[in-house]
Structure 1
Amino acid sequence: MRYQLELFFTAIGFFTRIPVPGWVPWSTDRLNHSARYFSLVGWIVGLVGAGSLILFALVLPAAIAVLLSMAVTIRLTGAFHEDGWADTCDGFGGGWDKSQTLAIMKDSRNGTYGTVGLVLMLLAKAAALITLAGSSVWLAAVALLVAHPLSRLASTSLIHTMEYVREDELSKAKPLARKLGHNELAIAVLFGLLPLLLLSPPRALLACLLVAFTTLLAARAFRRKLGGYTGDCLGAAQQATELACYLALVTTWNSI
């Protein structure tokens, strides 16, 4: 049990700014095995986002509450996934071949594609959540609770099904190149799908289908352009599938 707790804290320390207890050891091997808890980290991010949204909405208009809650979750994660999305937009937009694409993605500076992509992603997520909050703040809160774990499960599935393509050993995402075992994948799936119980079956099904479809599209693009994935690709997949989940809920809230 202690080992599992250490893995969970390892995942928290890698994907959020939450301080990790000093007794938790660090190693790349533990980071590899902590992938089973990435979806559970999404629970924490979702809970913080939903809680802050509800609190802000007590004294502020729903639209402002949504924007502030997004800022809270971005601060909580250190914009880790947003950075991956921006880097992927830059690389795929400006790279002509695999080596050039990887070089652009590794550059810490944001280019035009990355800047535009990040702005559009944030606007799209904000618009979707504001639309849900316009009906009820609680609906937007539920969307956060569902989308964060489910989108992290989508990213985890890429680790399990695709090859890591960066060859440099200094890459901080290199340890995430190990495929998950069957038990590890089962844990990730459990924590990724369990929050869907907050939705009605038709809405949960549509959210799963749209997230799965978006994941397949992302995997196809990564495989065609790079032959596999990088850490930035995982962040991009998380952002795209998080948005896909919000859009599924927006399209079904008044129709199902």
Structure 2
Amino acid sequence: MMKWRQAAAAAFQFLSRFPVNAHLDYSPALFRQSVKFYPLVGAVIGLVVWAGATGFSYLLPALPAAVLTLILWIGLTGGLHLDGWMDTADGVLSYRSREQMLDIMKDSRVGAMGVLACVLLLMLKLSLIYSLLIDGLDYSGLLLLPLIWSRWFMVHAIASWPMARGKEGLAGGNFNGLGRGQVWATFLIATVLSGVAASIIPLIYMDSSSWTVALFGLITLPLATWAAGTWMAKKLNATLGGLTGDTYGALNELLEVVALLMLVLLHNHM
């Protein structure tokens, strides 16, 4: 199998529950090569979620359709990023020393803060999905953007902030030393995928205002993702002395919600 195909397969196997039938020899080099395909994984998950939301909305009222859409969304990721969100909440919200926070995050058990953080996050995400479905998926092509750019930011975070545990753990052992070239390659892929997703709107509606909506979403969603992600990553870095695999998952969850919020604002005011 060619190297790029191995890297793409590794990205899909690691970040999703799509049945990728590939036997890979996982190594730090393969993990680092695979990150450029993270936005593609997000785009494919987003495409399936979009198709599911469209089908559910056709068959059911908006609220049960939104619940099923969220279940599908979580199922396609296997809850990988939610696990990181809960572990990060347990550690950071314990207000212990840095070492104790990192130990709490390594514990496989979920504490009260993790449960609360998960419930609140899912409530917010559900309400945002519902807000998009209640009036119809007018800007449905942009639904892919939250999943694309949240995964791009994970790559950016890996390369931009130190590892809290050094070379220990899944993140430190496999992604340590990720180069800026990989980040820029990932950014290019995310930009191309976003352009394709945003172009769905004017292709469907064929009017001048739809081009405005597409362009505005194409600019504001990535910028909001970058700004919110940078703020949170700096906070986590200051608290933990670096980032971990759990915090990358937490960042992904946070940024999906931020981008969904921007999409709802766009939907309501454009």
**Equivalent residue, structure 1, for 2:61:** 61
Q: Within the alignment, does 1:41 sit opposite 2:55 as a pair?
A: no
Which stretch of structure 1 is more off in the superposition, 74-83 or 60-69? 60-69
**For 1:51-98, what per-residue CA distance to the aligned partner results, in whole angstroms no more than 9, with x for missing partners?**
111122221112211211211121121100011111111111004221
Are 2:40 and 1:26 equivalent residues in the alignment? no
Structure-1 residue corresponding to 2:162: 163
- Residue 84 of structure 1 corresponds to 84
Code of the residue aligned with 1:240 in structure 2: it is L
Q: Quote the residue 2:10 is aligned against.
A: 10
Q: Give the distance between the partners of 2:150 and 2:22, measured in 1 at CA.
A: 29
Q: Which residue number in structure 2 is paired with residue 186 of structure 1?
A: 184
TM-score by structure 1 length? Answer: 0.92
Amino acid paired to 1:106 = K
Count of residue correspondences = 253
Q: Which amino acid aligns with 1:180?
A: G
CA distance in 2, matches of 1:138, 1:77: 25
One-letter amino acid matched to 1:221? K
Query: Gaps (5+ residues) in structure 2?
Result: 199-212
What is the match of residue 131 of structure 1? 131
Equivalent pair of 2:38/2:186 in contact (CA under 8 Å)? yes
In structure 1, the residue matched to 2:176 is 177
Q: Which amino acid aligns with 1:216?
A: T
Shift of 1:187: 2.3
Aligned residue for 2:204? none
Aligned equivalents of 1:40 and 1:72: distance in 2? 18
Structure 2 counterparts to residues 134-145 of structure 1, below 5 A = 134-139=134-139, 141-145=140-144
Counterpart Cα distance in 1 of 2:268 and 2:51: 24
Distance 1:109 1:94 in 2: 14
Q: Which residue of 1 aligns with 2:256?
A: 242
RMSD: 1.8
Report deviation, 1:172.
Answer: 2.6
Which secondary structure does the structure 2 equivalent of 1:109 belong to? coil
Question: Contact 1:54–1:138 at 8 Å: present in 2 too?
Answer: no
Where 1:136 maps in the other structure, the secondary structure is: coil
User: Contact 2:159–2:178 at 8 Å: present in 1 too?
Assistant: yes
Question: Partner residue of 1:113?
Answer: 113
Match for 2:229: what amino acid? T
The reply on whether 1:254 has 2:253 as its aligned counterpart is no
> In 2 relative to 1, CA 25–168 (structure 1 residues): closer, same or farther, beyond 3 Å?
closer
TM-score by length of 2: 0.87
User: What is residue 224 of structure 2 aligned with on the other side?
Assistant: 210
* Aligned residues of 2:17 and 2:77 also touching (Cα < 8 A): yes
Contact 1:128-1:247 within 8 A present in 2 as well: yes
Distance 1:119 1:167 in 2: 31
Q: Which deviates more, 18-27 or 227-236?
A: 18-27
Q: Quick one: percent identity of the two aligned structures?
A: 28
Please give the secondary structure, in 1, of the residue aligned with 2:268. Answer: coil
